[in-house]
């Protein structure tokens, strides 16, 4: 692909710069100019850079596409250094880098190597400017260290850090700006060119992305190729119809939109290709971007965008806060300026963007990260600054991709590694769960909502070892004949069907939320407990690590996202007992994505409400009643100070039915109505939901 943002004159200059830099890297392999402890780092890193150079040449000459064995060999060679079995001796591992190079230089050069690993993406996508600049950076850092005659102490480390800082700042208008363009500009077509034109009967196309490819991706592609077109259509139609209905039910102007951003995983091309055809009939062209490979744009260890296999989740976790190297007020201002300028230059594209359509993958091997003391992490001041920066960037995005006019949808399917022997059976059952009848569920959910609307709060109590005991306060109804507190959720933006939810009133929402084990965004939490006081998290703990401090830091980083506290943004009751039964029958309950897991019991989201940035939109249930519980005491201040109204996170935590003793509604004058007792639905008219439970 020839990138539209590089003209021919600039390309000639960049090619000349690249040839000079790559030539210098070849010379590094023959030199011993750096201190002895650093020779291995620079030689091994130079070998990786030159491997990327070889792949670049093969891509440009067409040799890469002609030799299947070469493609597989290149793919392994590009990723083998960070695979779990090699990671303990990889310079991508902060602990190993520091053990060889010393703590100060080790952390800096580990950061550099992680940024250089982005060359894989830049080379495959033809991003010449990013490729050239990173190879030149490596040569520059090598030259600096080779010339440091007085030793490598704090002064020298500070000089290296300064170079890295200014590189990231200077290239923000390339890397960060290009990521915005890939979100909203369909002419940035690297991924869609593969998606729409590859021969999907030959799984060799998977290597063309530059992502790590394993037997899971190959098996997924082959399995989907074996399905009849009718089955593929059913999957794609459910996904795209959910997206369309998000606009219809939200009364949003789909006719004004021209693009949809696709998130998917390698191997799902046959489904996504059909989805693209469906979207095009709606007047929408696809955009796709790869998950972030740069510290400039990485926010968490969770990948957002297109991805292949995760070569090593510990690597992703170790580098999720690499931006700590450069995050200060000056850098934050620079990044915000670049994002605003990019949107302003392309505001027509941004205004016409409809939002994401996400195809998630679930069932990967459970991951509990180890905390590396040498990894870059935000200090207290940076945590506060990062919270402010994320809020500011979100407000900029909302200004150009107008929140009240955009929508989204999410659907999820299993990976073969969920259970290699039963994968196809689990996959087909997931299709059934994703395509359950909305009308059947919404009728039953209307009965639950009618009972909930008669109360001022809900009382939730855990069963057995589950220590949950919560009171969740509801908004008051002014006109029950026309208004409702809870949304009756069909299978539109969040597939599958099966929940009723509300935004709680914070004052009066009190108690303990506990789950024995839960996976959130791919991370495992054991004995997770949150204490709420007037709707805000007052205390939190888990049992993942051997100290209170490590457990609290784990939660603060990955659930609170460095906020001191978060509100309860959502209370919901999941009704999809069919999904629950599937999970129990196959023994995959702990490996379900939150998208499905949240439908299999009551769940509580911490962070923003489900209606963040859209509180003033009118939203109605199928019975015509308007949902009035769309904000809380914090989001209500959005008109005066949006920076204080939103947290840019929303994490659902589900209590499974078997850990649930009671959900009851409490109202005035002694009114009480039980919704669930001992893990079963007991409200008259909801008994049908127990049928899948009886079949387990």
pLDDT band at 1 (very low <50, low <70, confident <90, very high): very low
Tell whether 184 is covered by a domain: no
Q: Which two tokens stand for residue 95?
A: 């602990």
| pLDDT number for residue 356 | 96
For 5-14, 61-70, 357-366, which range has the lowest pLDDT when averaged over its residues?
Answer: 5-14
Percent of residues, the chain, with pLDDT higher than 90: 82
The domain boundary, picked from 170, 202, 236, lies at: 170
Of the candidates 105, 135, 170, which is a domain's last residue? 170
Out of 170, 205, 222, pick the residue that ends a domain: 170
The answer on 385 and 444 residing in a single domain is no
Torsion angles phi and psi, residue 154, rounded to 5: -55, -40
Mean per-residue pLDDT, 281-297: 96
Pairing, β 568-574 against β 499-502: antiparallel
Model confidence over 215-236: pLDDT tens digits?
Answer: 999 999 999 999 999 999 999 9
d(CA 486, CA 504): 10
Distance CA 415, CA 614 (A): 34
What does the mean pLDDT of the chain come to? 93
Tell me which of 28-37, 41-50, 183-192, 300-309 is least confident.
Answer: 300-309
Residue 241 lies in a domain: yes
In 419-551, beta strands by DSSP E = 457-462, 469-473, 483-484, 487-489, 499-502, 505-520, 523-533, 536-541
Same domain, 453 and 398: no
The pTM of this model reads 0.91
Q: How far is CA 66 from the centre of its chain?
A: 34
Q: The domain containing residue 83 runs over which residues?
A: 8-170
Asked whether residue 233 is assigned to any structural domain, the reply reads yes
Phi, psi for 296 (deg, rounded to 5): -65, -30
Between CA 131 and CA 87 the distance in angstroms is 24
Are 18 and 162 found together in one domain? Answer: yes
Question: What is the pLDDT averaged over residues 25-52?
Answer: 96
Do both 470 and 321 map to the same domain? Answer: no
Is residue 617 domain-shared with residue 645, that is, in the same domain? yes
- Domain assignment present for 92: yes
Question: 3-class DSSP state for residue 508?
Answer: strand
pLDDT digits (tens, 9 = 90+) for 109-164: 999 999 999 999 999 999 999 999 999 999 999 999 999 876 788 899 999 999 99
In DSSP terms, 499 is beta-bridged to 489, 574
Which residue's entry shows tokens 């306060």? 473
- Residue 617: the pLDDT is 84
The SS3 assignment for 558 reads: helix
pLDDT band at residue 5 under the 50/70/90 scheme: low
Cis preceding-peptide flag for 80 (omega within 30 of 0): no
Count of beta carbons in the 10 Å neighbourhood of residue 416: 22
In a domain, 669, yes or no: yes
Domain count, the chain: 3
Cβ neighbours of residue 565 closer than 8 Å, sequence gap 6 or more = 536, 537, 538
Residues 591 and 671 placed together within one structural domain of the fold:
yes
Burial label, 150 (beta-carbon count in 10 A; 0-12, 13-18, 19+): exposed
Q: With bands split at pLDDT 50, 70 and 90, how would you rate the model's confidence at 528? A: very high
Contact in structure between 338 and 173 (CB atoms under 8 Å) = yes
User: Which among 396, 287, 277 is positioned nearest to 352, based on CA atoms?
Assistant: 287
Q: Are residues 135 and 203 in the same domain?
A: no
Tokens coding 189: 């077509």
Residue 416 CA to residue 219 CA, distance in Å, equals: 7
Same domain? 626 vs 670: yes
Closest C-alpha among 84, 311, 74 to residue 212 = 311
Instruction: Using the Cα atoms of residue 541, residue 547, residue 553 and residue 559 in order, give the sign of their dihedral.
Output: negative
- How do beta strands 483-484 and 626-627 pair? parallel
Burial label, 197 (beta-carbon count in 10 A; 0-12, 13-18, 19+): exposed
d(CA 314, CA 365): 13
């Amino acid at each position: 692909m020839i990138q539209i943002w590089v003209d021919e004159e600039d390309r000639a200059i960049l090619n000349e710069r690249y040839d000079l830099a790559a030539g210098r890297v070849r010379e590094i392999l023959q030199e011993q100019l750096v201190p002895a402890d650093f020779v291995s780092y620079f030689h091994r890193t130079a070998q990786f850079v030159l491997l990327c150079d070889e792949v670049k040449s093969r891509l440009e000459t067409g040799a890469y596409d002609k030799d299947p064995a070469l493609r597989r060999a290149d793919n392994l060679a590009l990723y083998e250094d960070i695979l779990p079995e090699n990671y303990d001796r990889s310079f991508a591992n902060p602990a190993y880098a520091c053990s060889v190079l010393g703590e100060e230089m080790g952390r800096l050069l580990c950061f550099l190597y992680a940024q250089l690993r982005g060359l894989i993406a830049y080379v495959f996508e033809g991003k010449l400017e990013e490729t050239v600049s990173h190879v030149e950076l490596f040569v520059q850092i090598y030259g600096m260290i080779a010339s440091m005659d007085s030793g490598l102490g704090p002064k020298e480390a500070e000089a290296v850090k300064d170079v890295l800082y200014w590189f990231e700042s200077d290239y923000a208008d390339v890397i960060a700006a290009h990521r915005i363009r890939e979100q909203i500009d369909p002419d940035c077509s690297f991924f869609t060119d593969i998606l729409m034109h590859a021969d999907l009967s030959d799984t060799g196309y998977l290597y063309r992305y530059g992502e790590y490819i394993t037997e899971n991706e190959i098996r997924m592609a082959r399995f989907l190729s074996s399905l009849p077109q009718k089955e593929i259509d059913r999957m794609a139609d459910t996904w795209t119809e959910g997206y369309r209905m998000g606009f219809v039910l939200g009364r949003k102007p789909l006719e004004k939109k021209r693009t949809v951003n696709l998130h998917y995983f390698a191997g799902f091309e046959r489904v996504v290709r059909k989805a693209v055809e469906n979207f095009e009939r709606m007047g929408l062209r696809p955009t796709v971007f790869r998950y972030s490979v740069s510290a400039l744009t990485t926010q968490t260890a969770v990948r957002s965008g297109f991805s292949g296999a995760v070569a090593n989740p510990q690597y992703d976790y170790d580098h999720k806060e690499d931006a700590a190297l450069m995050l200060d007020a000056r850098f934050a201002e620079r990044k915000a300026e670049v994002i605003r300028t990019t949107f302003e230059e392309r505001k027509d594209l941004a205004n016409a963007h409809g939002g994401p359509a996400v195809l998630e993958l679930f069932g990967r091997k459970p991951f509990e990260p180890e905390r590396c003391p040498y990894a870059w992490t935000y200090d207290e001041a940076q945590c506060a600054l990062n919270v402010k920066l994320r809020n500011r960037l979100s407000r900029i995005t909302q200004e150009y991709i107008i929140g009240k006019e955009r929508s989204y949808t999410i659907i999820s399917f299993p990976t073969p590694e969920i259970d290699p022997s039963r994968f196809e059976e689990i996959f087909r059952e997931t299709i059934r769960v994703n395509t359950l009848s909305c009308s059947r569920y919404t009728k039953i959910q209307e009965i639950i909502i009618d009972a909930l609307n008669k109360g001022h709060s809900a009382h939730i109590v855990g069963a057995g070892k589950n220590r949950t005991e919560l009171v969740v306060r509801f908004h008051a109804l002014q006109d029950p004949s026309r208004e409702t507190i809870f949304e009756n959720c069909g299978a539109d933006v969040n597939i599958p069907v099966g929940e009723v939810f509300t935004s709680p009133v914070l004052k009066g929402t009190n108690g303990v939320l506990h789950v024995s084990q839960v996976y959130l965004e791919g991370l495992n939490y054991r004995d997770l407990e949150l204490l709420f006081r007037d709707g805000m998290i007052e205390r939190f703990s888990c049992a993942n690590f051997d100290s209170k401090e490590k457990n609290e830091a784990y939660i603060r980083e990955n659930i609170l996202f460095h906020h001191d506290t978060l509100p309860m943004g959502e209370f919901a009751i999941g009704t999809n007992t069919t999904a629950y039964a599937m999970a129990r029958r196959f023994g995959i309950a702990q490996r379900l994505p939150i998208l499905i897991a949240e439908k299999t019991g009551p769940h509580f989201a911490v962070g923003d409400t489900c209606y963040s940035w859209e509180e003033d939109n009118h939203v109605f249930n199928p019975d015509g009643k308007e949902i009035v519980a769309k904000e809380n005491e914090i989001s209500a201040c959005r008109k005066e100070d949006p920076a204080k109204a939103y947290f840019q996170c929303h994490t659902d935590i589900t209590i499974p039915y078997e850990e649930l003793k009671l959900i009851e509604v409490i109202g005035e004058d002694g009114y009480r109505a039980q919704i669930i007792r001992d893990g079963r639905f007991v409200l008259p008219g909801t008994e049908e939901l127990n049928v899948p439970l009886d079949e387990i």
